Structure 1
Amino acid sequence: MAVTFGVLGPVTAATEQGPVPLKGPRQRTVLGRLLIARGRVVPVDRLVDDLWEVPPEGAVGAIRTFVADLRRALEPDRPPRQPPRLLVTEPPGYVLRAAPEAVDAGRFEAAVGEAGRMLAAGLPAPALAALDAALGLWRGPAYADCAGEAWAVAEINRLDELRMLAVERRAEALLALGRPDEAAADLPAHLAAHPLREDAWRLLAVARYRSGRQGDALAALRQARDVLVTELGVDPGPELRRLEADILAQAPHLTPSAAVPSAAAPPAAVPPALD
Structure 2
Amino acid sequence: MDFRVLGPFEVRDADTVVSLGGPRQRAVLARLVIAVGAVVSTDTLIDDLYQGTPPATALASLHVYVSNLRRAIEPGRTPRTPPQLLIARRPGYLLDTSDVDALRFAALVADAEHRPSEQALPRLDEALGLWRGTPYGEFSGELWAVTEVNRLSELRLVAIERRAEALLDLGRPQAVINDLESQTTRHPLRERLWWLLALALYRSGRQADALATLRRVRKLIVQQLGLDPGPELQSLEDDILQQAHSLTAPANRVSPAPTVL
State the TM-score, normalized to the length of structure 2: 0.93
Tell me by how many angstroms 1:126 deviates: 2.4
| Letter of the structure 2 residue corresponding to residue 114 of structure 1 | D
Tell me by how many angstroms 1:17 deviates: 6.2
| Letter of the structure 1 residue corresponding to residue 145 of structure 2 | A
SS of structure 1 residue aligned to 2:12: strand
Q: 1:128-179: CA deviations, max 9, x gaps?
A: 2111111111111000121221010000000000111111111111111111
Tell me how far apart the structure 2 counterparts of residues 134 and 110 of structure 1 sit (CA, whole Å): 9
Tell me by how many angstroms 1:18 deviates: 2.6
Contact 1:225 1:235 in 2 (8 A): yes
Please tell me whether residue 13 in structure 1 is matched to residue 6 in structure 2.
no
Name 1:272's counterpart in structure 2.
none
Contact 1:205 1:218 in 2 (8 A): yes
Q: How does 1:1-275 map to 2 (within 5 A)?
A: 3-16=1-14, 18-53=16-51, 54-99=53-98, 102-118=99-115, 123-256=116-249, 258-261=251-254
Tell me which of the two structures has the higher relative contact order, counting C-alpha pairs closer than 8 angstroms and 6 or more residues apart. Answer: 1
Tell me how far apart the structure 2 counterparts of residues 74 and 260 of structure 1 sit (CA, whole Å): 47
Tell me how far apart the structure 1 counterparts of residues 234 and 149 of structure 2 sit (CA, whole Å): 32
Tell me by how many angstroms 1:233 deviates: 2.0
| Letter of the structure 1 residue corresponding to residue 191 of structure 2 | E
| Letter of the structure 2 residue corresponding to residue 261 of structure 1 | V
SS of structure 2 residue aligned to 1:89: strand
Q: 1:245-273: CA deviations, max 9, x gaps?
A: 1100000110135133399xxxxxxxxxx
SS of structure 2 residue aligned to 1:250: coil
Give the count of matched residue pairs: 255
After TM superposition, the structure 1 stretch with the greater mean CA deviation from structure 2, 245-254 or 20-29, is 20-29
State the TM-score, normalized to the length of structure 1: 0.89
Contact 1:29 1:145 in 2 (8 A): no
Q: 1:20-64: CA deviations, max 9, x gaps?
A: 221122222111100111111111111111011321220111111
SS of structure 1 residue aligned to 2:114: helix
Tell me how far apart the structure 1 counterparts of residues 180 and 14 of structure 2 sit (CA, whole Å): 36
Q: Relative to structure 1, is the Cα distance of residues 169 and 262 closer, same or farther in structure 2, using a 3 angstrom cutoff?
A: farther
Tell me how far apart the structure 1 counterparts of residues 43 and 22 of structure 2 sit (CA, whole Å): 21
After TM superposition, the structure 1 stretch with the greater mean CA deviation from structure 2, 154-163 or 132-141, is 132-141
After TM superposition, the structure 1 stretch with the greater mean CA deviation from structure 2, 150-159 or 163-172, is 163-172
Q: CA RMSD in A?
A: 1.5
Contact 1:176 1:260 in 2 (8 A): no
Tell me how far apart the structure 2 counterparts of residues 213 and 152 of structure 1 sit (CA, whole Å): 42
Tell me how far apart the structure 1 counterparts of residues 15 and 22 of structure 2 sit (CA, whole Å): 21
Tell me how far apart the structure 1 counterparts of residues 131 and 15 of structure 2 sit (CA, whole Å): 21
Contact 2:39 2:93 in 1 (8 A): yes
After TM superposition, the structure 1 stretch with the greater mean CA deviation from structure 2, 143-152 or 123-132, is 123-132
Contact 1:177 1:262 in 2 (8 A): no
Tell me how far apart the structure 2 counterparts of residues 232 and 201 of structure 1 sit (CA, whole Å): 16
Contact 1:115 1:130 in 2 (8 A): yes
> Identity percentage over the alignment?
54
Tell me by how many angstroms 1:239 deviates: 1.0
Tell me how far apart the structure 2 counterparts of residues 226 and 15 of structure 1 sit (CA, whole Å): 50
After TM superposition, the structure 1 stretch with the greater mean CA deviation from structure 2, 208-217 or 128-137, is 128-137
After TM superposition, the structure 1 stretch with the greater mean CA deviation from structure 2, 78-87 or 251-260, is 251-260
Unaligned runs of 5+ in 2: 257-261
| Letter of the structure 2 residue corresponding to residue 78 of structure 1 | R
Contact 1:111 1:134 in 2 (8 A): yes
SS of structure 2 residue aligned to 1:236: coil
